[in-house]
Structure 1
Amino acid sequence: MDNSVLTGLDACITALRELRSTGAVFGMCNVDDEFFVLIRPVPGGVDLLVSDAAAALDYDIAADVLDLLRVDPPDEDDEEVWPEGNLAVLSDLGLPEGELLVIIEEVDLYPDEQLEMIAQRCGFGDDFGALLEKMVR
């Protein structure tokens, strides 16, 4: 996707819906190396997952995810990291919800590293790694 669609959750969802593909379409967004969001348009809606619900206190995109999920944001005093959304969002692509949870709970990893693990498990890790290398240059 073009960087111009990364202005907010609605723009990302719209851009993903406009993509034409014979396979699954979903977006993986690394936000400031703090957390990630998985976005997958489905008939009649969108499946969402934010890796750290507490990010909604500081980031609009995380707050927007919780809003669409109809989940209240955490208290400001809560320092625990937990995901919110559909942990089975990529289960049909080979990543069961239990494994996704294990990846998310690896808090010593940066979100790009977690996303790379997700890409590996879903079968497009080499392409994802090449894209990351291209972006770093």
Structure 2
Amino acid sequence: MSEQDAVPGFAVAVVREDGRWRCTAMDAAVLTELDAAITELRKVRSTGAVFGLLGVDDQFFLLLRPSPRGISLLLSDAAAALDYDIAADALDLLRVEPPSEDDEEIYPEGALDILADIGLPAAELRVIVGEVDLYPDEQLQMIAQRCGFADELAKLLDTITQ
């Protein structure tokens, strides 16, 4: 990937093991290619929950959660697929058509219950995604707060976004 292909943002792998949360930075290259993000997350070994938070270009976020049955994901704004390959790949994986160019509504696609088992019910995640006046990193901080790893995420983001 060349510098001109780079997409601004951040990618974080989140692990909950033995009742403790751990957040680690993922390679920035995963922001351009969904398969790369999935592959990197699948390499994380844990007996507990493992998922990825990708904040892309201050425009949208992706939640990714690998499991033996495949990958669950949530794209915060389906319209992002019109401008970002990773969002288009997410809709492809979900077998959802991208919105038309003139559709200006912001709506999520994917599994709103992706984090329900760790304390964030689908209805609450829908509310967070619906906060369209917030930047994706702010929405992801709300998710982290609700699930219990806000401090770990904030510390990591402070080091990788400087």
| TM-score, normalised by the number of residues in structure 2 | 0.81
CA distance in 2, matches of 1:4, 1:63: 16
CA distance in 2, matches of 1:24, 1:89: 11
The equivalent residue for 1:54 is 79
The CA deviation string for residues 39-90 of structure 1, in whole angstroms up to 9 with x for no partner, is: 1001121001100001000000000000000000101110000000000000
Question: Relative contact order: is structure 1 or structure 2 higher (C-alpha 8 Å, sep ≥ 6)?
Answer: 2
For 2:113, give the aligned amino acid.
Answer: A
Following TM superposition, by how much is the alpha carbon of 1:3 offset from its aligned partner in structure 2, in angstroms? 2.7
User: 2:31–2:86: 8 Å Cα contact kept in structure 1?
Assistant: no
Following TM superposition, by how much is the alpha carbon of 1:112 offset from its aligned partner in structure 2, in angstroms? 0.2
For 1:79, give the aligned amino acid.
Answer: E
The equivalent residue for 2:55 is 30
Aligned pair partner of 1:73 in 71, 83, 98: 98
Q: Which moves more between the two structures, 81-90 or 124-133?
A: 124-133
Identical columns (%): 68
1:85 aligns to 2:122 (yes or no): no
Aligned pair partner of 2:42 in 17, 21, 37: 17
CA distance in 2, matches of 1:5, 1:74: 23
- Structure 1: runs of 5 or more not aligned: none
User: 2:60–2:80: 8 Å Cα contact kept in structure 1?
Assistant: yes
Aligned alpha-carbon RMSD (Å):
1.0
Q: List 4+ stretches of structure 1 deviating above 6 A.
A: none
CA distance in 2, matches of 1:105, 1:117: 12
Tell me the secondary structure at the aligned position of residue 26 of structure 1.
Answer: strand
Tell me the secondary structure at the aligned position of residue 25 of structure 1.
Answer: strand
As a proportion of its length, which structure holds more helix? 1
As a proportion of its length, which structure holds more strand? 2
Tell me the secondary structure at the aligned position of residue 50 of structure 2.
Answer: coil
For 1:13, give the aligned amino acid.
Answer: I
Aligned pair partner of 2:68 in 43, 48, 54: 43
- Structure 2: runs of 5 or more not aligned: 1-25
CA distance in 2, matches of 1:53, 1:6: 16
How many residue pairs align between the two structures?
Answer: 137
